Structure 1
Amino acid sequence: MDEYVVQYLPLILTLLWWQPLSGATRTPTTANLLVSAQAEVIATLYAASASQAAAEKVADTKLRAQRQEIDTLRDRVRSGEVRLRSELVKQQEKFLAELTARDRAYAQEIGVFRNALENIASTPEGVAALTRFNAGDEVGALAVLDDLSAAQDAAERKGYEIRSAVRRRDNAMLALEARNKGKVTTAQVITRFEEVTRLDPGVHWDWVELGRLYMQAGRLPNALRTASVAADTAQDDRAQAVARHHLGNVQVAQGNLPAALGSYQASLAIRQHLAKIDPGNAGWQRDLSISHDSMGDVQVTQGNFPAALASYQASLAIRERLTKADSGNTDWQGSLSVSHEKMGDVQVTQGNFPAALASYQASHHIRERLADADPGNTYWQRGLSVSQEKMGNVQAAQGNLPAALASYQASHHIRERLADADPGNMYWQRALSVSLGMIGDVQIAQGNLPAALGSFQACHTIFERLAKVDPGNSGWQRDLSISHDRMGDVQVTQGNLLAALASYQASLAIRERLTKADPSNADWQRDLSVSHEKMGDVQVTQGNLPAALASYQASLAIRERLAQADPGNAGWQRDLIVDYVKLNEVSSDKRYITKALEVALAMQSRGILAPRDAWIIEELKRRASP
């Protein structure tokens, strides 16, 4: 046997399983070129090993009957009934279409192979080569075999990649669950999803999940890119709406609020269309409510509170209909409680405390029912504690301190149970400390300083434990510094100046470490200036004016840098005035009052002096006069 035949015999055997449709001497004419090309391509595809393997995998009565009919037609064509050849091609194509519809990996693989064969059959020479190949004239078709080998390799690689992506996608989803339990990092899960999308880049939901992970990791440029790919791979309107919504989420994280609002509105338009076509589809209605919520969130950030309230009310109306239609659906109930809460948040910002309290109470009643029905559900329990906390915030703002204290304590009791049940859950621990801090604030307002100090000390103990468990967590460290401040504030009011100074110094030490680690963080810089200021206040009360002067000057140096970096920030400018006034009081140097007045007048001219601070200018003028 010819050495070239031996070399390509395995490929020939895997591709072919019957004799040629026609003699090796047949050469297609121009007139029948297209028909012959199609026949030869279909014959090769039908005989391909991938087709045989797929047929065996999904074989059923229908497919077996189709194959038997094809075998009969093939035998008749071989015996000379050439007129049946077009019917044979038609049945083979029908068989391939059935396999493609049933097996996605096969569809990808055979699609690549078909493209290669069609390229070969695009010229008369290529059709002739395929004819010789199908006729068994391997030596004459060596050039074609080379192309077929490369095409099949590419197809097999694609098929392998698709199958591998299926396995790796399952692993990635399991890794995501492990990440949610704190067992693996977000970066490790990202690596897995990146490999899935490399192997099979055509699955929309893979890109959506990868984009969410990129956002959580702070990799916003990557997240923006995946949002674009998610839109390109969307197979239907709902997927397109999800892609637009995800793009909006990325744009929010980037601070591009106008673009984010546009993306959410685009998603909303698609979802409105879906909901209009099928108003009874609860899933479409739910998606629509989410779009309204997201738009409201952007509008809140933009300061457009009337528009935000309207968005939240639209979401609320949908969720009320959903819960009315299916009152036993706890997901609908939970979403409805969120709508009430969001409306309450806007109403607080608008200063409409009665309306806000009513909204929070409506949210609370729903969450109370959910928590009572499923006491072991930590999500419902957490939601209940949040609604009680927000009710307490409004009651405190209204001056109803007993009611506020009761709300905060109710929230605290829930968080205490959650923290006791899962001591390793850092979120529960922090939430517990937050409720203790709020209780302490009310106790201060009520004049119950010993109780307030006890609350703040309990809060401090939790923050201290969190900071010790994760020393590199800057959030825990900042919380710890705030707890030192709160204890110091109570100690000052109690007249225990030595203890207060020690508390403020402990806070100062933490903030110095934080600012040293990240000098560009303006919030931490301001925190540090506050520590210097508080220490100066205590030192003034102690009569240690030189030390107080040094503390105020340290605070001023920080605040001057902040104010210079952001002249439009009214808070930074007001902080400058405070320091100038305190330095004047300690040193009797009127130059500080002059500087304070210059800052206040500049704020007034730029329109950033708050109306409540208008009195400052007259007071500074009075102090500056001889």
Structure 2
Amino acid sequence: MLSIKHLYIAALASLLWLPDAISGSQAANAFFLYTSQVDAQAEVEAAREGLAQAKKRARLDTGGLLTAYIKLGSVLKRQGDLNGALETYKEGLIVAAKLVARNAGNAGHQHNLAIFYSTIGDILLRQGDLDNALSVYRDGLVIREKLAAIDASNSLWQNDLAASYGHVATVLRRQGDLEGALKVHQKSLAILEKLVALDATNALWQRSLSVAYDDLGDILLRQEDFDGAFQTYQRRLTIMERLTALDASNSEWQKDLAMSYDSMGDVLLRRGNVDGAVNAYRKALSIRETLLPLDASDAELQRSLITSNIKLATALEDSSYYAEALRIAQSMQAKGILDPAYAWVISDLKELVGLP
């Protein structure tokens, strides 16, 4: 049985790393696979310039404009500027909503509007604004349910619908409504399992299914169904090990694999298997340390390194890992990539290390 202190520390780690639900947009999915080798500020400026150019071409290419909003928002989010990302996505939402107002029957416009509801919900969820996150996720869900009903054979729309169910379930779980979360999440899982059955070679569907298994495992873990959580997390891990074996250079899949090891470590620790948990946590840490030199501006990755060290400190009762987590957090703060919403982490880690 874990102590109250251990449960608190586990909660600290989970709050630091709340993985975004998968994107329902092809444009966003493609961009999330993009890893820049340029300076962080230059990357932001390039995305801003891309948006400025897209605005000039807006009358001829509205799709390009919406993609530019997604790209800039994604850069800002990845670098830890959640408020900047939120404002960018909101501007994109206004454009998408105007297009729908002009032609409500255009399925493409509806699809794009749902994407912005999804991206805004992701930011609000990361910021802990659960009520508003749930509201915008549900706005997107309404659209995607209608689109999926229009053409049940459209696999992209089915995948989007599954993602929206997953978004809503995630917020319900965070709000403590585990039964409600489970009910909604089962809808997502049913869709994804059907898609994978149609084409087991589709990497996007496989990844989506793996995320759904992880979400289900989180619910079962909260319900203290440790055996069920373990089996579900194992399904997620199996998929991600297979995908990363196919393309070891895909950094997003590597991040997913690290998250899978984290989840396995969490349930193993709750079952009392400390050695197994430590082994899983170390695998996650190793992946993240390997990825960091590829993009030192990736705030999400650095935050996950903090999480890895906290989990190891908890399992091993070794404060040196807390010290390393503190060092990373302070470094992020000094570089301006630690979102203010996470500033409290530094004071908590100082207390755990024994610093004033």
TM > 0.5: yes
Give the Cα–Cα distance (whole angstroms) in 1 for the partners of residues 350 and 320 of structure 2: 22
Give the Cα–Cα distance (whole angstroms) in 2 for the partners of residues 271 and 491 of structure 1: 55
Query: 266, 279, 282: which is aligned to 1:460?
Result: 282
In the superposition, relative to structure 1, how do residues 302 and 271 fare at CA in structure 2: closer, same or farther (>3 Å)? farther
Give the Cα–Cα distance (whole angstroms) in 2 for the partners of residues 399 and 288 of structure 1: 38
Query: 348, 356, 378: which is aligned to 2:173?
Result: 348
1:298 Cα deviation after fit: 5.0
Indicate the percent of aligned positions where both proteins have the same amino acid: 23
Partner of 1:233: 57
In the superposition, relative to structure 1, how do residues 397 and 360 fare at CA in structure 2: closer, same or farther (>3 Å)? same
1:574 Cα deviation after fit: 5.4
For 2:43, give the aligned amino acid.
R
Query: 89, 94, 97: which is aligned to 1:269?
Result: 97
Q: Does 1:392 align with 2:210?
A: no
Residues 217, 233 of structure 2: 8 Å contact kept = yes
Q: What CA deviation, in whole Å up to 9, does each residue of 1:411-433 have, x standing for no partner?
A: 11222222333345444344333
Give the Cα–Cα distance (whole angstroms) in 2 for the partners of residues 480 and 295 of structure 1: 25
Give the Cα–Cα distance (whole angstroms) in 2 for the partners of residues 284 and 234 of structure 1: 14
Q: What secondary structure does 2:201 align onto?
A: coil
Superposed, 1:14-29 pairs within 5 Å as none
Q: Does 1:224 align with 2:48?
A: yes
Give the Cα–Cα distance (whole angstroms) in 1 for the partners of residues 275 and 53 of structure 2: 54
Residues 429, 462 of structure 1: 8 Å contact kept = no
Residues 162, 191 of structure 2: 8 Å contact kept = yes
For 2:334, give the aligned amino acid.
S
1:405 Cα deviation after fit: 1.7
Partner of 2:163: 338
Partner of 2:207: 382
In the superposition, relative to structure 1, how do residues 416 and 275 fare at CA in structure 2: closer, same or farther (>3 Å)? same
Count of aligned residue pairs for this structure pair: 316
* Between 423-432 and 369-378, the greater mean CA deviation after superposition: 423-432
Q: Could you list the runs of 5+ residues in structure 1 that have no partner in the other structure? A: 1-176, 188-213, 493-499, 525-565, 584-591, 593-626
For 2:282, give the aligned amino acid.
H
Q: What secondary structure does 2:224 align onto?
A: coil
Partner of 1:371: 196
Give the Cα–Cα distance (whole angstroms) in 1 for the partners of residues 201 and 342 of structure 2: 49
Residues 241, 257 of structure 2: 8 Å contact kept = yes
Residues 274, 284 of structure 1: 8 Å contact kept = no
Superposed, 1:465-504 pairs within 5 Å as 467=289, 483=308, 486-487=311-312, 489-492=314-317, 500=318
Query: 132, 154, 162: which is aligned to 1:329?
Result: 154
Residues 286, 318 of structure 1: 8 Å contact kept = yes
Could you say which structure has the larger radius of gyration? 1
1:335 Cα deviation after fit: 0.8
In the superposition, relative to structure 1, how do residues 287 and 437 fare at CA in structure 2: closer, same or farther (>3 Å)? closer
In the superposition, relative to structure 1, how do residues 445 and 283 fare at CA in structure 2: closer, same or farther (>3 Å)? same
Q: What CA deviation, in whole Å up to 9, does each residue of 1:538-588 have, x standing for no partner?
A: xxxxxxxxxxxxxxxxxxxxxxxxxxxx89955555566667xx68xxxxx
What TM-score comes out, normalization by structure 1 length? 0.43
Q: Does 1:520 align with 2:334?
A: yes
Give the Cα–Cα distance (whole angstroms) in 2 for the partners of residues 468 and 366 of structure 1: 34
1:387 Cα deviation after fit: 0.6
1:445 Cα deviation after fit: 1.5
In the superposition, relative to structure 1, how do residues 340 and 275 fare at CA in structure 2: closer, same or farther (>3 Å)? farther
What TM-score comes out, normalization by structure 2 length? 0.70
Residues 93, 113 of structure 2: 8 Å contact kept = no
Give the Cα–Cα distance (whole angstroms) in 1 for the partners of residues 84 and 330 of structure 2: 30
Query: 107, 115, 133: which is aligned to 1:290?
Result: 115
Give the Cα–Cα distance (whole angstroms) in 1 for the partners of residues 88 and 271 of structure 2: 44
Give the Cα–Cα distance (whole angstroms) in 2 for the partners of residues 257 and 355 of structure 1: 29
RMSD of aligned residue pairs (Cα, Å): 4.2
